[in-house]
Amino acid sequence: MITIEHLKKTFKKNKVEAVKDVSLEVNDGEIFALLGPNGAGKTTTMRMLSTLLVPTAGRITYDGKDINEDMLSVRRRIAFLTNEIRLDGQFSPDELADYYGRLYEMTEEQIRKNKQELFDYFGITEFSKRRYETFSTGMKQKTSLAICLLHDPDTIIFDEPTNGLDILTQRLIEQYILKLKAAGKCIILSTHILDLVSRLADRVGVIVDGKSVYCGSVSELASSQGVSTIDEAFVKLYEENHEEQAIITKK
Amino acid sequence: MHGLWLVFKHEIAKIFKDKNLIFGFFVLPVLSLLITVGISMIRPTTTEAEEYCLYFYGINMERINIGELNEKQIYVVSVEEEPSVFMQSGKFHNYDVLVDFSDLHEINIYYHEEDTISSYLKSTADSFVREIYSELYRGRHPEIEFRKVVAEDLNEKEDDNRLIAMLLPYMLILPLSANISNFSADTIAGEKQRGTFFQALLSPVPPLALIMGKIWSVSLISLFSSGIYIGLDVLGSRICEANGWQDLFGFSGIHVSTAEFLLILLYAVLLCYLFSNLGVLISLFCKNANQAQIAQLPVTLACTVSAMMAMFRFGTSPKFHYLIPVYNICIVFQDVLHAKVRLENMAMVAVSLLVLSVVLVIITLISYRSERVTE
């Protein structure tokens, strides 16, 4: 279980307060969607969750332990996949899987077994000896996903996982997310595609201007705002909480 | 330490799998060597010998043929010009020998040790001198005392070493700093640019292992690549000047013992390690390889200036010079080649470089978690 308490992040370089006050809870075996407009602080929150950034204030606990106290063991249990992730193009998926598997201190047997399962699922097996740089965008994304999941993490953070992918690859990834959920994994999903949220997520957190403004089940999101769809609920939450928009509305 | 060896091997493999890097750092030097040698071969050669001569000064004799070597005739020819004047003239070649017979107490044979023909002719000249003395003077002129024959090598060994000592820091530092700048810029800033650094940052490898793996791989590959450049450079110049295959091997003209060579190599490794530390630190703060290369320009420039300053250094240096990074390595190279090496100076340089490298690693580790790196 992941608990985020009054998380705050101010970047020293440009003094930007990217995250002001975010509090969320994510349970094991659920898909938690993180929603928010561009620049709301979703990516910064996820980077803090994956130990890449240190919070300015607040606390993130993973099964009750502060994640910044033992970062390396948290990293062994977490996978973070964004569409920015690329792997070394000179290597084949096979070589990359061996390298990252060893970095995660997996045994050769574990590497072989997980590699075979993931490569088969994503249709990489027949290209596993080819250089990563020769792959199409979708194939690269699938390979990145397979490599990220190779160490069998308990928690998987997806930042826009289906961006720029064709419908078939999108569906494959969606199905895999559901498969991970069925295996009891905790999945945090950041996306702008609300349809994806309504289809996959169990609970949702909404961030506006660096503050968490909603944390609850997807089914209750619309009703809690007195609207009929999550699109409308999201827009309403944004209008109520976005600082500039709130001033205009008041006027 | 978990991951260090894995990261190191992965980085090395990455370089060897990159066609552009392979071409730039390994194939290009070989091509440039072939071009240099090719140009030297189409150049009209002026050193092709028609005959070999033992020139004699201070004795009059007819031009006589005393044998044959490599299908060329060997002649004994007397000359009238003073040895110093004659040696400067175009008639005296590197493969010839000049015997100064003007002083019977000490007969000088001038030859070039470096040249195998000249060395052979020197032995012939020595026997010939003794034969002439026996025939002309022994028992007939008891007042004339024949004492010794002195063979004088015309290759100026000290000058050769002085030249190499002047050039070596420059020859080493230029390719080293350029290679390290390229490799270290590619290793982190290049990875950020390609989006591959993210996955490394997320891995459970201790930051020290990750950083050291990268630094060591940059050091090794830069040293290897610079070694190829310098080695082929030396080989190219030897091929252009060599008279035969045997001249290509060994270090004729460069008088560096194995111990001295190993000392130079050790300090080159230290220098490489220091540069790599600095290169990786700079690369950590840059967003792409170009930015990292530009940021490293002042370092490359400072290193080049240090090497140039060392080129024009004469005599001994004060103690504190051995504490100035990079410059101290240059003057140590020169000390080794001038046989002026002092243990305390060597130790001071080694310790100062290691301390500086450790400081840089600590700064890199602290910087590793900075927002500029992870954002």
Q: Which of B8, B198, B214, B217 to mutate to test the interface with A (most CBs of A within 10 A)?
A: B198
> CA nearest B52: which of B70, B34, B36, B37?
B70
pTM above 0.80, yes or no: no
pLDDT band at B253 (very low <50, low <70, confident <90, very high): very low
Average pLDDT for residues B12-31, to the nearest whole number?
80
Give yes or no for A12 touching B (CB within 8 A).
yes
Q: Which of B202, B366, B375 to mutate to test the interface with A (most CBs of A within 10 A)?
A: B202
CA atoms of B375 and B370, how far apart (whole Å): 8
User: Cβ distance B169 to B262 under 8 Å?
Assistant: no
User: Cβ distance B284 to B298 under 8 Å?
Assistant: no
pLDDT tens profile B187-199:
889 888 888 888 8
Question: Residue A183 has what pLDDT?
Answer: 92
Compare CB distances from B202 to A11, A52, A54 and report the shortest one's residue: A52
A96 versus B64: the higher-pLDDT residue is A96
CATH number at residue A203: 3.40.50.300
Per-residue burial over A79-108, b = 16 or more CB atoms within 10 Å of its CB, e = otherwise: bbbbbebbbbbbbbbbbbbbbbbbbbebee
Compare CB distances from B6 to A53, A75, A99 and report the shortest one's residue: A99
- The shortest C-alpha distance from A65 to chain B (Å) reads 17
Give yes or no for B14 touching A (CB within 8 A).
yes
A187 φ/ψ angles, rounded to the nearest 5 degrees? -125, 125
pLDDT > 90: percent of chain A: 55
Helices (H), chain B: 4-17, 19-22, 28-42, 83-88, 116-136, 157-184, 190-194, 197-202, 207-241, 258-284, 289-311, 327-337, 343-368, 371-374
pLDDT tens profile B301-350:
888 888 888 877 766 778 888 888 888 888 888 787 776 777 888 888 88
CA atoms of B93 and B111, how far apart (whole Å): 10
Q: Are strands B52-57 and B72-79 parallel, antiparallel or unpaired?
A: parallel
Compare CB distances from A50 to B7, B13, B202 and report the shortest one's residue: B202
Average pLDDT for residues A104-124, to the nearest whole number?
94
CA atoms of B237 and B163, how far apart (whole Å): 15
Give yes or no for B196 touching A (CB within 8 A).
yes
Q: Is B182 exposed, middle or buried (0-12, 13-18, 19+ CB in 10 A)?
A: buried
Q: Is a pLDDT exceeding 60 seen at residue B47?
A: no
* Window B:155-174, CB contacts with A under 8 Å: none
Q: Which of B5, B191, B194, B203 to mutate to test the interface with A (most CBs of A within 10 A)?
A: B203
Average pLDDT for residues B12-41, to the nearest whole number?
76
- Counting one residue from A and one from B, how many pairs have CB atoms under 8 Å apart? 68
Per-residue burial over B163-179, b = 16 or more CB atoms within 10 Å of its CB, e = otherwise: ebbbebbbbbbbbbbbb
User: Cβ distance A142 to B46 under 8 Å?
Assistant: no
Per-residue burial over B211-247, b = 16 or more CB atoms within 10 Å of its CB, e = otherwise: bbbbbbbbbbbbbbbbebbbebbebbebbeeebeeeb
- DSSP per residue, B55-95: EEESS----EEEEEETTEEEEEEEE-S-HHHHHHSTT--TT
Mean pLDDT check: name the lowest of A4-18, B208-222, B259-273. Answer: B259-273
Q: Report the interhelical angle of B207-241 vs B157-184 (nearest 10°).
A: 140
CA atoms of A206 and A16, how far apart (whole Å): 20
B165 versus B252: the higher-pLDDT residue is B165
Which position has the token pair 């630094």? Answer: B215
Give yes or no for B287 touching A (CB within 8 A).
no
Compare CB distances from B198 to A75, A84, A99 and report the shortest one's residue: A84
**What's chain B's average pLDDT?**
79
Looking at the structure of chain A, the number of domains it has is: 1
Q: Side chain identity at B278, as an amino acid letter?
A: L
Residue numbers in A near B196 (CB within 8 A): 86-88
Question: Which DSSP category does B242 fall into?
Answer: -
Mean pLDDT check: name the lowest of A82-96, B155-169, B341-355. Answer: B155-169
Average pLDDT for residues B130-156, to the nearest whole number?
68
Q: Is a pLDDT exceeding 70 seen at residue A244?
A: no
Angle at A151 between CA B193 and CA B3, to 5 degrees: 65
pLDDT band at B251 (very low <50, low <70, confident <90, very high): very low
Give yes or no for B44 touching A (CB within 8 A).
no
Question: Residue A178 has what pLDDT?
Answer: 93
CA atoms of B303 and A74, how far apart (whole Å): 42
Give yes or no for A84 touching B (CB within 8 A).
yes
Residue numbers in B near A15 (CB within 8 A): none
Give yes or no for A99 touching B (CB within 8 A).
yes
pLDDT tens profile B267-307:
888 888 888 999 999 998 898 889 998 998 888 888 888 88
- The shortest C-alpha distance from B356 to chain A (Å) reads 27
CA atoms of B176 and B229, how far apart (whole Å): 10
Chain A nearest-CA residue for B203 = A75
Q: Helix (H, G, I), strand (E, B), or coil: what is residue A23? A: strand
CA atoms of A183 and A156, how far apart (whole Å): 12
Q: Is a pLDDT exceeding 70 seen at residue A245?
A: no
Question: Residue A31 has what pLDDT?
Answer: 94
Q: Mean pLDDT highest for which of A181-185, A218-222, B142-146? A: A181-185
Chain A nearest-CA residue for B209 = A103
**What's chain A's average pLDDT?**
89
Give yes or no for A70 touching B (CB within 8 A).
no
Q: Give the domain extent around A231.
A: 2-250
B301 φ/ψ angles, rounded to the nearest 5 degrees? -65, -45
Q: Is a pLDDT exceeding 80 seen at residue A61?
A: yes
- The shortest C-alpha distance from B202 to chain A (Å) reads 7
CA distances from B214 to A10, A132, B29, B158, B353 (A): 30, 21, 24, 41, 19
Contacts for B366-370 with beta carbons within 8 Å, 24 or more apart? Answer: B367/B281, B367/B284, B367/B285, B368/B207, B368/B210, B368/B211, B368/B284, B369/A54, B369/B207
A11 versus A244: the higher-pLDDT residue is A11
Chain B nearest-CA residue for A75 = B204
Give yes or no for B23 touching A (CB within 8 A).
no
